[in-house]
Amino acid sequence: MKPELKPFYRSEYLQKILEEGRCQGVTIYFAKDGRKIYLEYRSVLVKPEGQAPYISGIARDVTEKMLSERKIKGLEEQILHSKKMQAIGTLAGGIAHDFNNILGIILGNAELALEDVVEKDPVRHHLEEIQTASLRARDVVKQLLSFSRKTEHERKPLRLSPLIKESLKLLRASIPADIAIETRLDETAATVLTDPGQIHQVLINLCTNAAHAMEETGGTLTLRLENHVVESTSPSGTAPLTTGRYVKLTVEDTGSGIDARHLDRIFDPYFTTKEMGKGTGLGLSVVHGIVKDHKGEITVESRPGSGTLFSIYLPAYAGEATHEAEKAATLPTGSERILFVDDEASIVEIGTRLLERLGYRVEGHTHPLDALARFSEDPHGFDLVITDMTMPHLTGDRFIKEILALRPQTPVILCTGFSARINAESAARLGVRCYLEKPLNWSELARSVRKAVEE
Contact assessment for residue 253 and residue 210, using Cβ atoms and an 8 Å cutoff? yes
Model confidence at 80, in pLDDT bands (50, 70, 90)? Answer: confident
**% of the chain residues with pLDDT over 70:** 85
Give the amino acid at 187.
E
pLDDT on residue 52? 92
User: Is the same domain home to 242 and 355?
Assistant: no
pLDDT on residue 276? 41
Nearest to 213, CA basis, from 254, 180, 175, 262 = 254
pLDDT on residue 379? 92
**Which one of 21, 42, 61 terminates a domain?**
61
pTM for the full predicted model: 0.55
Reading phi first (left if > 0) and then psi (alpha if -120 to 50, else beta), residue 275 is in beta
Is 85 inside a domain boundary?
Answer: no
User: Is the same domain home to 310 and 403?
Assistant: no
pLDDT on residue 254? 93
d(CA 434, CA 428): 8
Is 427 inside a domain boundary?
Answer: yes
Q: Which helix (H) or strand (E) holds 374?
A: helix 368-377
**CATH at residue 51:** 3.30.450.20
Mean pLDDT of 331-353: 92
**% of the chain residues with pLDDT over 90:** 40
pLDDT on residue 360? 96
User: Is the same domain home to 355 and 252?
Assistant: no
d(CA 41, CA 260): 31
pLDDT at 272 over 70: no
User: Is the same domain home to 304 and 344?
Assistant: no
Q: How many domains does the chain have?
A: 3
Is 102 inside a domain boundary?
Answer: no
Higher pLDDT, 83 or 125: 125
pLDDT at 273 over 90: no
pLDDT on residue 168? 86
User: Is the same domain home to 401 and 305?
Assistant: no
User: Is the same domain home to 172 and 277?
Assistant: yes
User: Is the same domain home to 200 and 170?
Assistant: yes
SS3 323: coil
Task: Give the domain extent around 44.
Answer: 3-61
Q: Which helix (H) or strand (E) holds 127?
A: helix 123-147
pLDDT on residue 135? 77
Contact assessment for residue 139 and residue 197, using Cβ atoms and an 8 Å cutoff? yes
**CATH at residue 366:** 3.40.50.2300
Model confidence at 321, in pLDDT bands (50, 70, 90)? Answer: low
Range with lowest mean pLDDT among 124-128, 256-260, 307-311: 256-260
**Which one of 11, 46, 61 terminates a domain?**
61
pLDDT on residue 85? 63
Is 121 inside a domain boundary?
Answer: no
Question: Cis before residue 392, ω within 30 degrees of 0?
Answer: no
User: Is the same domain home to 165 and 39?
Assistant: no
Contact assessment for residue 58 and residue 42, using Cβ atoms and an 8 Å cutoff? yes
Contact assessment for residue 389 and residue 400, using Cβ atoms and an 8 Å cutoff? no
Residue range 26-79, pLDDT digits in tens: 888 888 888 888 999 999 999 999 899 999 999 999 999 988 888 888 777 777
pLDDT on residue 152? 53
Is 107 inside a domain boundary?
Answer: no
pLDDT at 213 over 70: yes
pLDDT on residue 402? 95
Residue 56 sits at φ, ψ, to 5 deg, of -110, 125
pLDDT at 87 over 80: no
Mean pLDDT of 383-408: 94
Range with lowest mean pLDDT among 97-101, 143-147, 440-444: 143-147
pLDDT on residue 183? 94
Model confidence at 290, in pLDDT bands (50, 70, 90)? Answer: confident
pLDDT on residue 86? 67
User: Is the same domain home to 257 and 369?
Assistant: no
Residue range 118-167, pLDDT digits in tens: 888 888 888 888 888 887 777 767 766 665 454 556 788 999 999 898 88
Contacts of 232 (CB under 8 A, 6+ apart): 243
**CATH at residue 159:** 3.30.565.10
Is 19 inside a domain boundary?
Answer: yes
Model confidence at 281, in pLDDT bands (50, 70, 90)? Answer: very low
User: Is the same domain home to 165 and 287?
Assistant: yes
pLDDT on residue 10? 85
Is 75 inside a domain boundary?
Answer: no
Is 140 inside a domain boundary?
Answer: no
pLDDT at 306 over 80: yes
User: Is the same domain home to 241 and 359?
Assistant: no
Reading phi first (left if > 0) and then psi (alpha if -120 to 50, else beta), residue 281 is in left
Residue range 227-237, pLDDT digits in tens: 999 876 554 44
User: Is the same domain home to 303 and 164?
Assistant: yes
